[in-house]
């Protein structure tokens, strides 16, 4: 048994269409407001804009998933989805066992591209090579050397890509990077931009990386020293991150060092000793963090691991949850489980099943309410009704939103048996005698 319920055959797109129809004006306002920062003139009709919309009329829900294990004891899975964005610009790397003397080391990374996917894809293939080429990541581990080798590897690949971009006429893309390098003794957390990594230890967030935003005092100071400004919380009113690989239009002051440009490719690197209480690592782009807090995501994954033994399914549930919580970005996540991660338990499965039975009863109650009012079946009414109810046992960090598949399945079962009520014959029938 993998989960208390898996409703992969539920037609989620129809639910999305209903939601968009119900909240059309709000959704339109939200998207136009998003574009207004750099594209839209704020008028009511954007149909004639020369600049194509960065968003689709409906999200692309197909997911790419993968999973694997490392001989040194971890398992991992990833999932990614294009979502509402017009293009998929995320990339990732999963290397559970680095070659050679580092076979008991692992390396994982998520790259969140913007203005194109070239830089994100190139980094997913080559960043580790540049880090290892420094010669500072060795089996006889010196943590200071490893951290410096990671930092130097970032600077090297960014300089190399800058040359390539001029020679091969690359797009003007850039990419954030969130990565971990796991040795037998330590975890190295690597961050450049606003993707993020967190460690769950003993059921709680033990460590997480800080986002690099232009409004951060240290980042703002560097930007201003480089002759730029922070406007609308963006570098020169344009770029929403202050550190990234690529983005070479922000790195053209040749007499300034790489780390003192408007946008810096320098990562922040942290190290933490591994512990038996380590449960799992999460690496994700801001399409996840825009919708969920660190604590909520940690709690949600922790709870799902107790009712699901398919790590890809857990990743998929996170992605869907973020979509339904309002994320309009590409969404990518990697979850790496250590031996101390929660395991499926019959007790947790029983609690989940009881909660889902209660949800089904609540759906039926809402359905009866609509019938008593002679109203047509309405999924949105059901969702609003459930949201107003106190339902114990919902997944922490996910709430009612995370159980939409269960709700939709129960709703569709009732709709299948629904027959419109015959209109009452007010005048009565004529006497045949």
Q: At residue 17, does pLDDT exceed 60?
A: no
Does some domain include residue 126? yes
Higher pLDDT, 97 or 25: 97
- Structural tokens at position 262: 């408007």
Sort strands 90-95 and 106-114 into parallel, antiparallel or unpaired.
antiparallel
Crossing angle of helices 346-372 and 379-388, in 10° steps, is 120
User: Domain of 168: which CATH number?
Assistant: 3.60.40.10
Does some domain include residue 425? no
My answer on whether 124 and 209 are in the same domain is yes
My answer on whether 389 and 323 are in the same domain is no
My answer on whether 264 and 400 are in the same domain is no
- Structural tokens at position 159: 């300089």
My answer on whether 306 and 379 are in the same domain is no
Sort strands 230-231 and 204-208 into parallel, antiparallel or unpaired.
unpaired
Which range (19-28, 261-270, 282-291, 308-317) has the least confidence?
A: 19-28
Kindly report the backbone phi and psi dihedral angles of residue 204, in degrees, each rounded to the nearest multiple of 5, phi listed first.
-130, 160
Mean pLDDT of 334-339: 98
Can you give the pLDDT at residue 422?
A: 58
Distance CA 33, CA 178 (A): 28
- Structural tokens at position 112: 């969140």
Q: From residue 200, how far is each of 79, 172, 307 by CA, in Å?
A: 19, 36, 18
Does some domain include residue 115? yes
> What pTM, to 2 d.p., does this model score?
0.86
Higher pLDDT, 12 or 244: 244
Does some domain include residue 308? yes
Q: At residue 352, does pLDDT exceed 50?
A: yes
Does some domain include residue 197? yes
Can you give the pLDDT at residue 56?
A: 94
My answer on whether 141 and 275 are in the same domain is yes
Residues 6+ apart with CB under 8 A from 43: none
Mean pLDDT of 198-213: 97
Does some domain include residue 411? yes
Q: Facing residues of 90 across strands?
A: 112
Residue identified by tokens 């009732």 is 414
Distance CA 78, CA 92 (A): 9
My answer on whether 393 and 308 are in the same domain is no
Residue 52 banded pLDDT, cuts 50, 70, 90: confident
Residue 419 banded pLDDT, cuts 50, 70, 90: confident
Q: Where are the beta strands (DSSP E) in 160-292?
A: 174-182, 186-192, 196-201, 204-208, 230-231, 234-235, 245-246, 268-273, 278-284
The SS3 call for residue 64 is: strand
Mean pLDDT of 417-428: 62
Can you give the pLDDT at residue 377?
A: 85
DSSP 209: P
User: Domain of 363: which CATH number?
Assistant: 1.10.10.430
Residues 6+ apart with CB under 8 A from 422: none
My answer on whether 315 and 376 are in the same domain is no
Q: Facing residues of 204 across strands?
A: 201
- The parent domain of residue 162 ranges over 12-16+66-337
Mean pLDDT of 143-168: 97
Q: Given its phi and psi angles, is residue 359 left (phi above 0), alpha (psi -120 to 50 degrees) or beta? A: alpha
Residue 432 banded pLDDT, cuts 50, 70, 90: very low
Distance CA 180, CA 197 (A): 8
My answer on whether 306 and 353 are in the same domain is no
My answer on whether 143 and 104 are in the same domain is yes
Mean pLDDT of 34-40: 33
Q: At residue 433, does pLDDT exceed 70?
A: no
Residue 421 banded pLDDT, cuts 50, 70, 90: low
Mean pLDDT of 181-209: 98
My answer on whether 242 and 374 are in the same domain is no
Residue 355 banded pLDDT, cuts 50, 70, 90: very high
Does some domain include residue 428? no
Distance CA 190, CA 384 (A): 41
Can you give the pLDDT at residue 218?
A: 96
My answer on whether 212 and 324 are in the same domain is yes
Q: At residue 4, does pLDDT exceed 90?
A: no
Domain endpoint, select from 310, 337, 364: 337
Q: What proportion of the chain, given as a percentage, has pLDDT over 70?
A: 85
Q: At residue 18, does pLDDT exceed 70?
A: no
Q: At residue 303, does pLDDT exceed 80?
A: yes
Does some domain include residue 388? yes
Q: What is the CA radius of gyration of the chain?
A: 25
Which range (12-21, 114-123, 180-189) has the least confidence?
A: 12-21
Q: What domain count does the chain have?
A: 2
Mean pLDDT of the chain: 88
Nearest to 183 by CA among 66, 70, 69, 285: 70
My answer on whether 221 and 280 are in the same domain is yes
Residues 6+ apart with CB under 8 A from 302: 200, 203, 279, 280, 342, 396
Q: What proportion of the chain, given as a percentage, has pLDDT over 90?
A: 79
């Amino acid at each position: 048994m993998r989960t208390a319920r898996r409703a992969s055959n539920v037609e989620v797109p129809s639910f999305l269409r209903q939601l968009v129809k119900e909240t059309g004006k709000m959704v339109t306002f939200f998207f136009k407001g998003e574009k207004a920062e750099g594209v839209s003139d704020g008028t009511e009709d954007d149909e004639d804009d020369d600049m194509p919309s960065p968003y689709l009329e409906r999200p692309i829900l197909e997911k790419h998933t993968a999973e694997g294990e490392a001989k040194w004891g971890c398992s991992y899975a990833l999932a990614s989805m294009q979502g509402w964005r017009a293009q998929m610009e995320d990339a990732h790397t999963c290397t559970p066992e680095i070659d050679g003397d580092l076979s008991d080391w692992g390396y994982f990374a998520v790259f969140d591209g913007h203005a194109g996917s070239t830089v994100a894809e190139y980094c997913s293939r080559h960043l580790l090579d540049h880090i290892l080429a420094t010669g500072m990541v060795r089996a006889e581990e010196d943590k200071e050397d490893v951290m410096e080798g990671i930092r130097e590897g970032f600077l090297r690949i960014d300089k190399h890509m800058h040359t390539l971009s001029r020679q091969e006429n690359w797009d003007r893309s850039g990419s954030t990077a969130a990565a971990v390098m796991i040795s037998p003794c330590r975890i190295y957390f690597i961050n450049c931009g606003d993707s993020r990594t967190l460690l769950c230890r003993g059921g709680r967030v033990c460590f997480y990386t800080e986002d690099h935003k232009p409004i951060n005092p240290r980042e703002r100071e560097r930007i201003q020293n480089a002759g730029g400004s922070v406007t609308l919380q963006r570098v020169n009113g344009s770029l929403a991150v202050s550190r990234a690989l690529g983005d070479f239009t922000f790195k053209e002051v040749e007499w300034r060092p790489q780390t003192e440009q408007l946008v810096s490719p320098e990562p922040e690197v942290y190290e933490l000793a591994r512990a038996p209480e380590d449960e799992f690592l999460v690496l994700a782009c801001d399409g996840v963090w825009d919708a969920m807090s660190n604590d909520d995501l940690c709690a949600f994954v922790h709870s799902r691991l107790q009712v699901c033994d398919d790590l890809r399914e857990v990743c998929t549930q996170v992605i869907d949850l973020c979509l339904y919580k309002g994320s309009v970005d590409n969404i990518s996540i990697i979850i790496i489980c250590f031996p101390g991660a929660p395991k499926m338990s019959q007790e947790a499965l029983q609690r989940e099943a009881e909660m889902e039975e209660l949800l089904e009863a609540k759906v039926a109650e809402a359905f009866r309410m609509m019938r008593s009012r002679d109203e047509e079946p309405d999924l949105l009414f059901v969702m609003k009704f459930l949201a107003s109810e106190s339902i114990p046992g919902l997944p922490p960090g996910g709430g009612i939103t995370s159980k939409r598949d269960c709700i939709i399945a129960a709703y569709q079962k009732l709709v299948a048996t629904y027959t419109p009520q015959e209109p009452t014959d007010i005048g009565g029938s004529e006497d045949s005698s």
